Amino acid sequence: MTTATVVDERVARTSTLTTLLKRPEIGALVAAIAIFAFFAITTDVFATPSGASTWLRGASTIGIMAVAVALLMIGGEFDLSAGAMTGFTGLVVGVLTTEYGLNIWAAIVVSLALALGVGAINGILVMKTGLPSFIVTLGTFFVLQGIDLAGTKALIGQVAIQGMSSVPYYDQAKQVFGSNLSVNGGLVYASVFWWIAVTAVATWILLRTKTGNWIFAVGGAQTAARQVGVPVFKTKVGLFMTTAGAGWLVGMLLLFTTSTVQSNTGVGQEFIYIICAVVGGCLMTGGYGSAIGAALGALIYGMVNQGIVYSGWDNNWLKAFLGVMLLGAVLLNEWVRKRAETSR
Amino acid sequence: MLRFKLVGAIVAVGALLAACSGTGSDSGTSDTAKKNYTYAVITHGAPGDAFWDRVKSGAEQAGKDYGVEVDYSSDADPAKQSQLIDGAVAKKVDGIVVSMANPDGLEASVKKAVAAGVPVITINSGVDKFKDFGAITHIGQTETIAGEAVGERLQTEGQKNVICVIQEAGNVGLEERCKAIANTFDGKVQNLQVDGTDDNAVQATITSKLQADKAIDTVVTLGGQYAIDASSAVKDSGSKAKVATFDLSEDVIKQIQAGTILFAVDQQPYVQGFLGVTGLYLKSINGNDIGGGQPVNSGPAFITKDNADAVLQFAANGTR
């Protein structure tokens, strides 16, 4: 009775609470709940259906990108071209339809193909040259930004898409990417459903499929992964194509929700995606993180962004508040994770 | 005196060059062909900004029309913009058009250009300093004139509570516009900062503000693009607020026709670019000083339901 049986710690049963605390996203979850509670208590509109619809909407497009970027970061790479990609894909559709009269669905497919092509180029360059993805995608970021500006200007003589809503079949595409649903007095935008779907699919891939294991493996220990037969090249190129594909999706969501897109769309947003992924528990070094965490990171960003407006604070301070909140979230995240790791 | 000497020196150098080419083997071209002038247009506009794109189009069209070369460049950072001016002087251009959002930052370079005998015309911003710096004239519409005109207009429309949407943090001109609106408007004016690179966020932020403060009856945006975002936000939030905006686009005009946007104030950026180059050209060929040392206004022009039809095709071309 007194002699406890010695159990190998790898197969030891752990309490549900400990298992929960070990998840990467737990810090972000706690922070999200705290931030929600804070704004719900201090402002009148934040927790109402109409209030929630605006911060969910703001979070959704950031969230889709953050989830894709998180997968890539778990795989040990960065994509700085992700922000410019959202503008690029929207501009492609806008130019092809308003200027050349191409069928809107054909334009959407062309745009997806171009995005995946850029993603593949990013991945192949990183893998073949051995250059850091930071440098390669910084290059594609500038190229895309230049094309967005010069290409659009050269083709349509403007820097923003005009007259999109009068393109044939616009309404069909808007149904898919830009519609909204009235729930209890608040509007739920299509982008929110896309966000939930992307997060669910990414989580399933990460936790339940062989590909998920490959992603963790290539990010954690690339050489070891290659030695045990993980297709490193395929996995990494696939991840870059995934972020590019997500960039396309967000580009479509922006284009069909706002009916316009301009050449500076998305520039600078790439850092927000990375921040959201990090807040959600991704390590900058790769091999660790979660899709739900990144989605929660985006939710925090969205809530803070609109919460400041609801609070009526002077929103010249917005960036400063945002920085403090994000740092706080990361620190909380770290603290919870360390506690969880020591309390085995 | 100094100026006279400089002009003398330039004339002398010019005569020397002419003499050289006259005796050289490549004779004929410089005698028969009209002198090909080169002008530099150096602004503080961000690349991709629809407003500055129209300034550039205007300047380039003037270049084409007069058969002169126009080099457009821009940098929002005054230090880099002044380097562009120095570079143009070093390249011995025949004139410089410059926008002075931050006159103090450009003072040394502009004065250097003038001292080197390069005619300078300021456009858009810098009306208070152009004379001191020795520029021929200023073409534009100060943020104050435009903002005050909007304030007056909103006052006569009977509006009470305005939010002024700033799409680019730290842009002095945008802040000045909002301040100028408050100068002539008796009601309340609050600024709202939004992220101009994310239209989705712009809409969400304006929606949030309208939900949080039901008393707001007017949204003023400072760029055509953001007026479209604002009118969607008004719809989404179920607010009754009216939208007014600075600057135009095809979509803005269509919404003015449809009545979802009240009016747009146009400072006619195309005019600023076109007239800037025109001023230099007149100086080069005829020694004219447009305005005789007084600034020339390019706007404000109000676009309302009454005149929207007439402007639509030009906006569609990207020149209004």
pLDDT tens column, B54-72: 999 999 999 999 999 999 9
- Tell me which residue in B191, B225, B237 faces A260 most closely, judged by beta carbons: B225
| Residue B27 in this model has a pLDDT that exceeds 60 | no
Under 8 Å CB-to-CB from A226, ≥6 apart: which residues? A232
Contact assignment for A50 to B237 by CB distance below 8 Å: yes
Chain B residue with the nearest C-alpha to that of A263? B48
- Of the two residues B2 and B202, the one the predictor is more confident about is B202
Task: Read off the pLDDT band of B23 (50, 70, 90).
Answer: very low
Chain A residue with the nearest C-alpha to that of B202? A58
In B291-305, which positions are buried (b, 16+ CB within 10 angstroms) versus exposed (e)? beeebbbbbbbebee
Q: Please name the residue that has the structure tokens 């399933």.
A: A204
| Residue B167 in this model has a pLDDT that exceeds 80 | yes
Contact assignment for A315 to B192 by CB distance below 8 Å: yes
> Which of A86-95, A185-194, A335-344, B22-31 shows the lowest per-residue confidence on average (mean pLDDT)?
B22-31
pLDDT score, position B136: 94
CA atoms within 13 A on the CB side of B49: 20
CB-CB contact of A325 with A319 (8 Å): no
Residue A15's Cα: distance from chain center in Å?
Answer: 32
- Of the two residues B279 and B77, the one the predictor is more confident about is B279
CB-CB contact of B302 with B266 (8 Å): yes
Chain B residue with the nearest C-alpha to that of A164? B251
Task: Read off the pLDDT band of B302 (50, 70, 90).
Answer: very high
pLDDT score, position A268: 86
d(CA B222, CA B147): 10
Task: Read off the pLDDT band of B116 (50, 70, 90).
Answer: very high
Contact assignment for B50 to A268 by CB distance below 8 Å: no
d(CA B180, CA B170): 17
Q: What percent of chain B has pLDDT over 90?
A: 56
Q: Which residue type occupies A31?
A: A
pLDDT score, position B24: 40
> Which of A17-31, A114-128, A137-151, A248-262 shows the lowest per-residue confidence on average (mean pLDDT)?
A17-31
- Tell me which residue in A158, A267, A315 faces B193 most closely, judged by beta carbons: A315
| Residues in chain A within 8 Å Cβ distance of B212 | 43-45, 309-310, 312
| Residues in chain B within 8 Å Cβ distance of A180 | 236
The alpha carbons of chain A give a radius of gyration, in whole angstroms, of: 21
Distance from CA of A58 to the nearest CA of B (A): 5
Cβ contacts from A onto B, under 8 A: 123
- Tell me which residue in A57, A265, A318 faces B204 most closely, judged by beta carbons: A57
| Residues in chain A within 8 Å Cβ distance of B237 | 50
d(CA A212, CA A191): 25
> Which of A241-250, A253-262, A332-341 shows the lowest per-residue confidence on average (mean pLDDT)?
A332-341
| Residue B273 in this model has a pLDDT that exceeds 60 | yes
| Residues in chain B within 8 Å Cβ distance of A194 | none
pLDDT score, position B29: 42
Residue B236's Cα: distance from chain center in Å?
Answer: 33
d(CA A35, CA A279): 13
Nearest alpha-carbon partner for B199 in B238, B167, B172: B167
Residue B293's Cα: distance from chain center in Å?
Answer: 19
Q: Please name the residue that has the structure tokens 């604002």.
A: B230
- Tell me which residue in A258, A310, A312 faces B200 most closely, judged by beta carbons: A258
Contact assignment for A309 to B229 by CB distance below 8 Å: no
Whether cis (ω within 30° of 0) applies to the bond prior to B300 is yes
Contact assignment for A258 to B229 by CB distance below 8 Å: yes
d(CA A29, CA A23): 10
Contact assignment for B48 to A43 by CB distance below 8 Å: no
- Tell me which residue in A149, A269, A315 faces B47 most closely, judged by beta carbons: A149
| Residues in chain B within 8 Å Cβ distance of A148 | 48
Chain B residue with the nearest C-alpha to that of A160? B50
For residues A45-68, give the mean pLDDT: 92
Interface list for chain B against chain A, based on CB atoms closer than 8 Å? 46-50, 53, 57, 169, 191-193, 196-201, 203-205, 207-209, 211-213, 224-225, 228-229, 232, 236-238, 249-251, 254, 315-318
| Residue A326 in this model has a pLDDT that exceeds 80 | no
Phi and psi torsions of A297, nearest 5° = -60, -45
pLDDT score, position A340: 64
Task: Read off the pLDDT band of B195 (50, 70, 90).
Answer: confident
Angle, helices B199-212 vs A291-311, to 10°: value is 40
| Residues in chain B within 8 Å Cβ distance of A154 | none
Distance from CA of B214 to the nearest CA of A (A): 11
Mean pLDDT, all residues of chain A: 88
Contact assignment for A259 to B209 by CB distance below 8 Å: no
Task: Read off the pLDDT band of A14 (50, 70, 90).
Answer: low
State the burial class of residue B75 (Cβ atoms within 10 Å of its Cβ: 0-12, 13-18, 19+): middle
Name which of A162, A170, A194, A308 to mutate to probe chain B: the one with the most chain B Cβ atoms within 10 A of its Cβ.
Answer: A162
Contact assignment for A159 to B50 by CB distance below 8 Å: yes
| Residues in chain A within 8 Å Cβ distance of B192 | 309, 315
Task: Read off the pLDDT band of A184 (50, 70, 90).
Answer: confident
Nearest alpha-carbon partner for A187 in B245, B145, B56, B236: B236
| Residues in chain B within 8 Å Cβ distance of A191 | 200
d(CA B96, CA B94): 7
Nearest alpha-carbon partner for B43 in B10, B83, B81: B81
Summarize pLDDT for B213-272 with one digit per residue, the tens: 999 999 999 988 899 999 999 998 889 999 999 988 888 999 999 999 999 998 899 999
pLDDT score, position A5: 57
pLDDT score, position A344: 47
CB-CB contact of A250 with A61 (8 Å): yes
Contact assignment for A265 to B197 by CB distance below 8 Å: yes
| Residue A3 in this model has a pLDDT that exceeds 60 | no
| Residue B25 in this model has a pLDDT that exceeds 60 | no
pLDDT score, position B17: 46
3-class SS string, chain A: CCCCCCCCCCCCCCCHHHHHHHCCCHHHHHHHHHHHHHHHHHCCCCCCHHHHHHHHHHHHHHHHHHHHHHHHHHCCCCCCCHHHHHHHHHHHHHHHHHCCCCCHHHHHHHHHHHHHHHHHHHHHHHHHHCCCHHHHHHHHHHHHHHHHHHHHHHHHCCCECCCHHHCCCHHHHHHHHCCEEEECCEEEEHHHHHHHHHHHHHHHHHHHCHHHHHHHHHHHCHHHHHHCCCCHHHHHHHHHHHHHHHHHHHHHHHHHHHCCCECCCCCCHHHHHHHHHHHCCCCCCCCCCCHHHHHHHHHHHHHHHHHHHHHCCCHHHHHHHHHHHHHHHHHHHHHHHHHHHHCC
| Residues in chain A within 8 Å Cβ distance of B269 | none
| Residue A227 in this model has a pLDDT that exceeds 70 | yes
| Residue B313 in this model has a pLDDT that exceeds 90 | no
CA distances from A12 to A5, A9, A19, A22 (A): 11, 5, 12, 15
Distance from CA of A280 to the nearest CA of B (A): 21
| Residues in chain A within 8 Å Cβ distance of B205 | 54, 58, 305-306, 309
| Residue A343 in this model has a pLDDT that exceeds 60 | no
Task: Read off the pLDDT band of A131 (50, 70, 90).
Answer: very high
For residues A29-37, give the mean pLDDT: 90
d(CA B161, CA B166): 16
| Residues in chain B within 8 Å Cβ distance of A83 | 197
Q: How many CB atoms lie within 10 A of CB B51?
A: 22
Distance from CA of B193 to the nearest CA of A (A): 6
d(CA B249, CA A162): 8
For residues A121-144, give the mean pLDDT: 95
Assembly ipTM:
0.70
